[in-house]
Amino acid sequence: MINFQHIFDKFNDMTIMVIGDVMVDSYLWGKVSRISPEAPVPILASARCEHRLGGAANVALNLQALGATPLLCSVVGNDGEGETFAKLLSANGLTQLGMLTDSTRITTTKTRIIAGTQQLLRIDGETTKPLHEGLEKAFFARIEQLIASEKIDAIIFEDYDKGSITPNIISWVVTLANLRKIPTLVDPKKRNFLEYKNVTLFKPNFYELCEGLKVDVDRQSYDSIFEAAKKINRQLNVRYAMVTLSERGVLVSDGEQYTATSAELRNIIDVSGAGDTVISVVSLCLAAGMAIAPAAMVANLAGGLVCEKVGVVPIDKKLLLDECIKKLA
């Protein structure tokens, strides 16, 4: 019998480092009542604009919502959007100790233009170039300093292919973490997919698994998915490969066997940010000493809960705890 209250209470004493690509999610809401005479496009009468923390920063918000202390490490540009990001960090009570600002970068910004509930357009301002050598070394030095000075319970790599995470950063951090026996967890993207060697947990979704390994997998067969997941375990020397499967739940492989957890039947409204919630929850559960199978079940529950909300929202800790006690205890 798992004492979920005890596990969740442990979250309050944990510090989780999040390394990755951060961004500003901007929303411009308005109303469309006519078409432009200049071109066949709608005219949006702007009503309000809102900025939110996005990318790896959303993982930090989920960790914070679960009671942990997130330590966000990333690089932003020396620009107006970077200033907006810094203000959002402050407004959300997040530290800037792990943040670097550099004039050669621009801050990733995704602006969504929305009429009522309909998204008309998204405008992305970003660079995807990897950090240059000097900045890469400065970034690792900041991370290394924080690992030495803080009690880090786990490290999450939140990769969006925007360049903050490089093969060197991965290798340097994982080597240091393994020496200190700090668990490392990865939410991967395509570019660095095969660079994450010797990590504790690697969490691709089904599409990322197929694309990253360049294999065809039968989505309806857990055995087929397990065969692909085993390649992650063995090729990257990963302890656990955890594949998220949307409505089919999650599958976890240790290279020898697998456990699969079906998704709960829910009123799915918006899947945005569910992956951020899953990696946050499983990192805390593993750091708290929970075995991988129940940790995956808790993370699966959490991912389903946030899909019942509109937009990217952090998990509700009390709601998740109640669900765990009711369905898993």
User: Bridge-partner residues for 25, per DSSP?
Assistant: 52, 110
Of 176, 174, 177, residue with least CA distance to 165: 174
- Tell whether the torsion through CA atoms of 128, 168, 284 and 326 is positive or negative: positive
Rounded to the nearest 10°, the torsion over CA 84, 173, 135, 76 is -10
Active-site residues, by number, are 276
Is 221 within 8 Å of 213 (Cβ atoms)?
no
Residues 6+ apart with CB under 8 A from 217: 206, 209, 210, 224, 225, 227, 228
Amino acid at 302: A
- The set of residues, in sequence order, having a beta carbon less than 8 Å from that of 202 and lying 6+ positions away, is 185, 186, 188, 196, 232, 236, 238, 240, 241, 242
CB atoms near residue 20 (< 10 Å):
24
Cα separation of 56 and 39, whole Å?
Answer: 38
Q: Are 196 and 202 in contact (CB under 8 A)?
A: yes
- Residue 39 has φ and ψ, to the nearest 5°, of -165, 160
User: What are the start-end ranges of the H helices in the chain?
Assistant: 4-11, 56-65, 80-91, 133-149, 167-179, 206-213, 222-236, 274-287, 292-306, 317-327
Please give the backbone phi and psi of residue 60, each rounded to the nearest 5 degrees, phi first.
-60, -40
Instruction: Kindly give the pairing relationship between strand 69-77 and strand 98-102.
Output: parallel
